[in-house]
Amino acid sequence: MLGVSCKVGIRAGVREFLSRDPRFASAAQISSAYDGIYTRRSQVWEDQGRTLQFISYFSELAASCSTGRLLEIGCGEGYLLAQLRAAEKVAVDISAEALSKAGPRTGADCSVALAERLPFATESFDIVVSVGVMEHFLDDLRASAEICRVLKPSGWYLALIHVKQSYGQKVGQKLREYIYPSFRPLALVRWLSSKVYRPVYQPIQHGYTPTSARACLAAGGFDVTRTISTATEAAAPLAGPHVVIYVARKRDPHASPA
């Protein structure tokens, strides 16, 4: 569903569907910023928990819900998408540079698009996944509703978010990652280097709590069936207590919100 206000073009060899809606005017600037990140760096999000162990875990979690037609929103370079099992893979990201890497890596049908304006037919996917993307949506309520729209009845949405942390919580997390109980000097040096050499600055739009993120999904038309964090499932290979995965299902329109 492209709509009349959608700009269609080709950039970096990738189809581009960016909305002309003035509410999303900042999307072009954000897209350019991420193009710069993906041009300068590779494996951009590895130091934010996208480890091989996490990718394997999340892939199995998604497969336990559905291996049908899949859409990943914010796929980046496609490292997770390459491991996801699906009858057909489709992906969108705001960065054409990221998608120019993801397409060959995954064999997915990739395009630049906003979650708030998905260029897909209603009820065309069995499962949608997003990892560390929901907090970047310009209009998170609209994006959740759009994701719900493109899902088939009872389709699944797996959304990983990073909830707000205080400064003290952020410091404590890094101490646990690199200092205690296991000192990891090489990993610490790599992390510190990433903050000095070609640092990544992300335009976060929403600071969620676990409750407010769940409320956003509910408002979009989803029932959360499972919440995964280090507090609920200690063995889950997540980067820290600030990482939460919501396993949600498209609500029956005749049912009341959970």
Asked if the structure places residue 179 within a domain, the reply is: no
Asked if the structure places residue 228 within a domain, the reply is: yes
| Cα(124)–Cα(146) distance, integer angstroms | 12
Asked if the structure places residue 174 within a domain, the reply is: no
Residue 162: its H or E element: strand 151-162
pLDDT of the residue at 252:
86
Asked if the structure places residue 173 within a domain, the reply is: no
pLDDT of the residue at 202:
65
pTM of the model: 0.84
Asked if the structure places residue 60 within a domain, the reply is: yes
* Spatial contact of 208 and 164, defined as CB atoms under 8 Å apart: yes
pLDDT of the residue at 2:
46
Asked if the structure places residue 176 within a domain, the reply is: no
> Side by side, which strands form the sheet with 125-131?
6-11, 14-19, 109-113, 88-93, 69-73, 125-131, 151-162, 243-250, 222-228
Name the nearest CA neighbour of 71 among 123, 20, 27: 123
| Cα(178)–Cα(183) distance, integer angstroms | 6
Residue 78 structural domain: 6-164+201-250
pLDDT of the residue at 219:
97
Name the nearest CA neighbour of 222 among 154, 130, 160: 154
pLDDT of the residue at 200:
58
Q: Flag residues of the chain having pLDDT under 50.
A: 1-4
Q: What is the pLDDT of residues 17-67, one digit of tens each?
A: 877 778 888 888 888 888 888 888 777 666 566 789 999 999 999 999 999
| Cα(58)–Cα(97) distance, integer angstroms | 24
- CATH code where residue 235 lies: 3.40.50.150
Could you give the number of structural domains in the chain?
1
Interstrand relation of 243-250 and 222-228 (parallel, antiparallel or unpaired): antiparallel
pLDDT of the residue at 218:
97
Asked if the structure places residue 133 within a domain, the reply is: yes
pLDDT of the residue at 4:
40
